[in-house]
Chains A and B, each alone.
Chain A
Amino acid sequence: MPPLNPPAPPSRGYLSDGTTVASWLCTRDHKRIALLYLFTITFFFLIGASAAALMRWELTRPNGDLMTSDTYNRLFTLHGVVMVWFFLIPSIPAVLGNFVLPLAIGARDVAFPRLNLASWYIFVCGGLIALYAIVVGGVDTGWTFYTPYSSTYSNSNVMVMATGIFVAGFSSIATGLNFIVTVHKLRAPGLTWFRLPLFVWAIYATSIILVLATPVLAITLALMALERGFGVGIFDPKLGGDPLLFQHLFWFYSHPAVYIMILPGMGVVSELVSCFSRKKIFGYKVMAFSILSIAGLGFLVWGHHMFVSSQSVYAGVVFSLLSFLVSVPSAIKVFNWIATLHRGSITFGTPLLYALGFLALFTIGGLTGIFLATLAVDVHLHDTYFVIAHFHYIMVGGGVMAYMGGIHYWWPKISGRMFPEGWARFSAVTIFVGFNLTFFPQFLLGYLGMPRRYHIYPAEFQTLNVISSAGAAVLAVGYLVPLCYLTWSFFHGKDAGPNPWNATGLEWQTPSPPPSHNFEQTPVVTRPPYDYPPL
């Protein structure tokens, strides 16, 4: 005989509180805003990745005969601008930060929910302006917008694109401000600073960088636009300006921006490594302080992008020294993650595979960064494919691997459903293999002297370029598969339950997906973070 009351379908928490379009577009729930960001940046990721695919296609041939030079120049500019400002910078902070941060500190939302929604709208506005710049013909300055090329010589939509980035910057600032206040004011009772998960520390430090550095980018772009639009001499020597001033300002933002892209990843990886080895993170305080010192020292090293720019020799020496020093805390973090695994009880779930991928790729990226901090060696490697490979190892090998790991780790919390583990492991391994195949050959190309932003190159470089392009194809598969199974699992995956990984952390003490107000009762914290039972 069937039961009298058939079991109600499991509630989908915040997901079932309103299903209209308006309920999403007018939401003030940090979890829904996180999903809005997730869709938006996935869209931009696909655009940026398509540009990369076209570039890798062109680079299979040395003659540059598959597209015009102007097309190629627009593609790498598009790729850089879209990936940096419309994917990487918002990736972990705006998606995972928005979703997890309030949950992880036991709060009902961020400090300013309306501002949070406004940030997303500002971001979308900036994105649409950037898309418009691309659709009406693109920009050919490179994402770095070096003057006087961008301010005087380029015949492309520099002003529109700069406006898009300028606008999107305000979204960064607002999000950063929101998170800083949230961490200061909304922590659950008992959640002292040194009980915060490292993910929260990382998002907090990143938010400080967002608030302090982004205005400088806005100023820089505004000055460039003033010169381009109104002939005010700031950067162009013909108007009495100084082209290197632009580089100083640009890198004063853009070096810290590297840490906006990597620090949140370090936070995510700390969560994953600890959870999947069932051990508290090794050297918790050192980890927290290294996050802060990276964020601070990161503001003092911008001149390492200018060793051959004709800046003073002594400035170069100082910037080189500081760049070595900023690498120390990063190296310490790697050692601590490995020490966390030591004597743990390790299971190889998909999130850990991504975390291990992060460890390997970030280490290679960091070690090759040391080459570039070394003055005499950087003179040779600067502006070659070595640099391209290096920062992709950091920003994609590090940043995107951590983002993917974090998405998988918190997916059960976000969707209430499990993803298919087999497919997920397959794509994690595919991404790792494809990534190395794509970017490792570029270290060799750079050492041999292939300059960046060259689509016409000596035939000797073809083999390595073909290998790199083949790797990009593998990488594309690795990225597309999760798109499919995550979408599928959102609707059809099996129920996750509140805490499928048996993780510590307040976000796991509430149902999956959480109700709109996050917690039935405000949790009270009495224990240190990562308090796993003794093994």
Chain B
Amino acid sequence: MSAAPLSEIGGGAGWLPEASSFAPRVDRVFDGLLAASAGMALFLTVLTLVILVRYRRGSAGSRKAVRIATWKIETAWIVATTAVFLFFFVQGTSVYLEMRRIPAGIEAINVVGRQWMWDVRYPGGRREFNRLHVRLNTPVRLLLSSEDVIHSFFVPAFRLKQDLVPGKVVEAWFDPTRAGTYMLYCAQYCGTAHAEMTGTVVVLAPDQFAAWEGGRDGGAESGSPGLAGAARGSAIFQKYGCAQCHGDAAGSRAPRLAGVYRGPVRLADGRFVLADDQFLHDAILRAPKCAVAGYAMTMPTYDGVIPEGDVLDLISYIKALPPAPASQVP
């Protein structure tokens, strides 16, 4: 084994640190499974070995048939096994449901997967590649998307894994509970350099995080600090000519965007949908499929035109728009 222990990238707690709020909870379920399985495996091994020795050909052990009815034995096995399995099912499911209950009201960090790198865009405007900085003990919400094929955001120390599916905006979250630098892997095979699509997640104490946020020192690889995600979105908004229809001066050719986020939208086909991240994402890329009631569909498809990261910036821009007067909400 090389001289550098995992703790160097793992935060110093043996082989695999528990660095998120749900890491210990996942581990307790894992430990329970491990204890039960090891116990079972050991029991069956000893039992089988005893039987093999005792009932080898020519040995003296009694060969009389067991007097308990077979169906009783079978029923006991089936019931006991099912009960133990259900116990672990309930445990694993309850922890999982908690892991998937994403806390509301946190600004999301956009993470775009691309062959073969991680493109991280912070709400504050920073952009980094293959590195994610987060503040200790502060829940982090991620909006994951992919530019090309399926990737998977995997941080073993957080017991967190979530696929990035092209065409979808997938949410994930974690609450880092231990400062340190942790490995980030792409866990879904994505082509030639899949094994090199790795990065790190840096968990900083609040003061260090503030220092990192304040300057370039903390984030040596950061791209264009200072330009906020929303501001970048605004530039993209102009670039693709969105303002011509959606802008304030455009009359009523297209739905107003201010305040639309997380509100209800009535579609041309009569359905009501929630304007969440996924809806905005689809409406930008494939407008004809998301036609809003009351407007003629004139918006082209931007699929393959606007890169995935820019779409997420546009969504950040839409979220940041000041709320519109009530009468203008579509």
Contact = CB atoms under 8 A, between A and B. Distances in A.
B2 A140 contact: no
A444 to B, nearest CB: 9
B161 A149 contact: no
Interface stretch (A178-186, A263-271, A326-334): A326-334
B186 interface: yes
A379 B187 CA distance: 11
A149 B48 contact: no
Given A238-B303, A313-B97, A376-B99, A140 B25 contact: no
Contacts of B86: 324
A485 interface: no
Contact of B65 (A146, A343, A356): A343
Given A237-B167, A371-B30, A379-B99, A454 B195 contact: yes
B266 interface: no
A392 interface: no
Given A332-B74, A364-B41, A383 B15 contact: no
B165 A374 contact: no
Contacts of B70: 282-283
A379 B161 contact: yes
A244 B91 CA distance: 27
Given A238-B304, A243-B150, A346-B52, A371 B33 contact: yes
Contact of B64 (A141, A339, A343, A377): A343
B51 A341 contact: yes
B165 A376 contact: no
B98 to A, nearest CB: 8
A345 interface: yes
B327 interface: no
Contacts of B186: 451
B37 interface: yes
A477 to B, nearest CB: 25
B63 A328 contact: no
A149 B16 contact: no
Contacts, number: 251
Interface in A435-477: 447-449, 451-460, 462-463
Interface stretch (A204-212, A315-323, A409-417): A315-323
Given A343-B62, A370-B37, A449-B185, A70 B192 contact: yes
A378 B160 CA distance: 10
A344 interface: yes
A310 B165 contact: yes
B242 interface: no
Contact of A375 (B47, B55, B96): B96
B48 A451 contact: no
A423 interface: no
A242 interface: yes
Contacts of B156: 380, 448-449
A219 interface: no
A382 B183 CA distance: 16
Interface stretch (B75-83, B120-128, B130-138, B314-322): B75-83
Interface stretch (B4-12, B204-212, B228-236): B4-12
B162 A453 contact: no
A490 B30 CA distance: 49
A367 B81 CA distance: 12
Contacts of B157: 449
Interface size class of B (residues with CB under 8 A): 35 or more
Chain B interface SS verdict (over half): mixed
A523 B315 CA distance: 76
A50 interface: no
Contact of A343 (B16, B29, B66): B66
A452 B33 CA distance: 22
Nearest to B89: A324
B196 interface: yes
B245 interface: no
A328 B187 contact: no
A277 B167 contact: no
Contacts of A447: 16, 30
Interface size class of A (residues with CB under 8 A): 35 or more
A140 B191 contact: yes
B141 interface: no
A224 to B, nearest CB: 13
Given A70-B192, A324-B88, A449 B55 contact: no
Given A310-B163, A313-B97, A327 B192 contact: no
Given A448-B156, A451-B186, A374 B25 contact: no
A238 B57 contact: no
Contact of B47 (A310, A316, A338): A338
B166 A243 contact: yes
B21 interface: no
B195 A448 contact: no
A249 interface: no
A359 interface: yes
A363 B88 contact: no
Given A286-B74, A382-B161, A448-B156, A376 B189 contact: no
Contacts of A277: 55
Contacts of B4: 459-460
Contacts of A148: 148-150, 166
B72 to A, nearest CB: 11
A428 to B, nearest CB: 15
Contacts of A384: 187
A153 to B, nearest CB: 5
A379 B166 contact: no
Interface string A375-414: 1111110111000000000000000000000000000000
Among the interface residues A321, A346, A364, A373, which one has the most CB atoms of the partner chain B within 10 A?
A: A346
A489 interface: no
B262 interface: no
B61 interface: yes
Contacts of A360: 45
Contacts of A286: 74
Contact of A456 (B66, B148, B196): B196
B188 to A, nearest CB: 6
B26 A380 contact: yes
Contacts of B115: 153
Given A69-B194, A324-B88, A328-B81, 14 more contacts: A243-B167, A310-B170, A316-B96, A325-B82, A335-B77, A344-B63, A347-B56, A368-B37, A376-B159, A380-B156, A382-B161, A382-B187, A449-B185, A451-B187
22 contacts: A72-B195, A244-B165, A309-B150, A310-B163, A310-B170, A313-B100, A324-B89, A328-B85, A332-B74, A339-B73, A341-B51, A343-B62, A346-B55, A367-B37, A371-B37, A376-B25, A376-B95, A379-B96, A453-B195, A458-B6, A460-B1, A460-B4
